[in-house]
Structure 1
Amino acid sequence: MKIIVVCPGKLKDKWLKDGIDEYKKRLSRFATLDFIEVADCPDSVPVNDALKKEGELILSHIKPGEIVWAMDLGGENVTSEKLSSYLVSDIEKGGGTLKIVIGGSNGISPEVRARADRRICFGNITLTHLMTRLILSEQLYRGFKIAKGEKYHK
């Protein structure tokens, strides 16, 4: 099984890299987790232009027929158990692969939102797009543990 996260921006903070690497290692029992980083637009670019450009770059990494989740503040607010259920069913539907999109600092473009098979939200708080990578990695690990009936701290 393979999970590929497509997201704008380079991850520079060592503590975030270390956290994500830890969850990638833990996840390796269940699936591989890879990240495709696309260029993010500088703050000087108007928001709509930035969304359009980042959206085009993200969509260039998504093939027809792939199952896609978009991490979206306007998406479905899910529990870890619901995320686990979606994870298992969508990886199966996707032939063993799931693509997940995290938008940049301005969110995700309407085109990416429309392409998504599922829009997932981790709550009404705003997380940085870089922090979302770490939270998502942990929740994917938790989701597989739930699916396998294995214990994991609550």
Structure 2
Amino acid sequence: MNIQIVAVGRLKEKYLTDGIAEYLKRLGPYAKVQITELPDEKAPDTMSAAEEEQVRTREGERILAQLKEDAHVIALAIGGQTWSSEELAGQLERLGTHGRSRVAFVIGGSHGLSAAVLRRADQQLSFGRVTYPHQLMRLILVEQVYRAFKINRGEPYHK
């Protein structure tokens, strides 16, 4: 399976880059995982709703440019469906079984995802109603993808 994670924003914290690197290494035997890091739109701390929408639109254009036409796109969105680890594993298993071996997860910037990205998404996934920093979400996502492969293979998960 080919998994692409398209994420807005640069990772600067070493503990996040180290954690992600560890899970990418662990994922090596199961899938080819590529992280596409896109620059976030520079914006002032306080913006009007229209300005926030402009930021989402510009970031969304960059996201859409990175998505392959045949990819099954799963957008991380607070309003999406919540899945257990087992349900995520089942989703990935079904996609692989039905010939959708290219999966793209999308993590937006601090202002969320544009309407165009959400329309392009085949599914929307939420990790709950709480808000995580988008940089931390990248680490959480790669850990959950790794866990999903371990579940699907019936292998023990070593913490």
Instruction: Identify whether the pair has TM-score above 0.5, normalized to the shorter chain.
Output: yes
Return 16-25 or 31-40, whichever deviates more. Answer: 31-40
Partner of 1:119: 124
**Contact 1:70-1:113 at 8 Å conserved across structures:** yes
Instruction: From the CA coordinates, give the structure whose radius of gyration is larger.
Output: 2
**Contact 1:91-1:98 at 8 Å conserved across structures:** no
> How far apart are 1:37 and its partner, in Å?
1.1
Give the TM-score normalised by the residue count of structure 2: 0.91
Partner of 2:32: 32
Partner of 1:66: 71
Tell me the distance in 2 between the aligned counterparts of 1:83 and 1:134: 16
Give the TM-score normalised by the residue count of structure 1: 0.94
TM-align CA RMSD: 1.5
Partner of 1:75: 80
Structure 2 residue 104 is matched with structure 1 residue 99: yes
Q: How has the CA–CA distance of structure 1 residues 94 and 5 changed in structure 2, closer, same or farther, with 3 Å as cutoff?
A: farther
Structure 1's unaligned 5+ residue stretches are none
Tell me the distance in 2 between the aligned counterparts of 1:94 and 1:138: 24
**Contact 2:70-2:102 at 8 Å conserved across structures:** no
Structure 2 residue 19 is matched with structure 1 residue 19: yes
Q: How has the CA–CA distance of structure 1 residues 93 and 100 changed in structure 2, closer, same or farther, with 3 Å as cutoff?
A: farther
Q: Which amino acid aligns with 1:21?
A: A
Q: SS of the counterpart of 1:48?
A: helix
Matched residues, percent identical?
Answer: 42
Of the three residues 126, 131, 141, the one matched with 2:136 is 131
Give aligned pairs, total. Answer: 154
Structure 2 residue 45 is matched with structure 1 residue 41: no
Q: Which amino acid aligns with 1:52?
A: T
**Contact 1:66-1:94 at 8 Å conserved across structures:** no
Q: How has the CA–CA distance of structure 1 residues 107 and 93 changed in structure 2, closer, same or farther, with 3 Å as cutoff?
A: farther
Q: Which amino acid aligns with 2:22?
A: E
**Contact 1:67-1:94 at 8 Å conserved across structures:** no
Structure 2's unaligned 5+ residue stretches are none
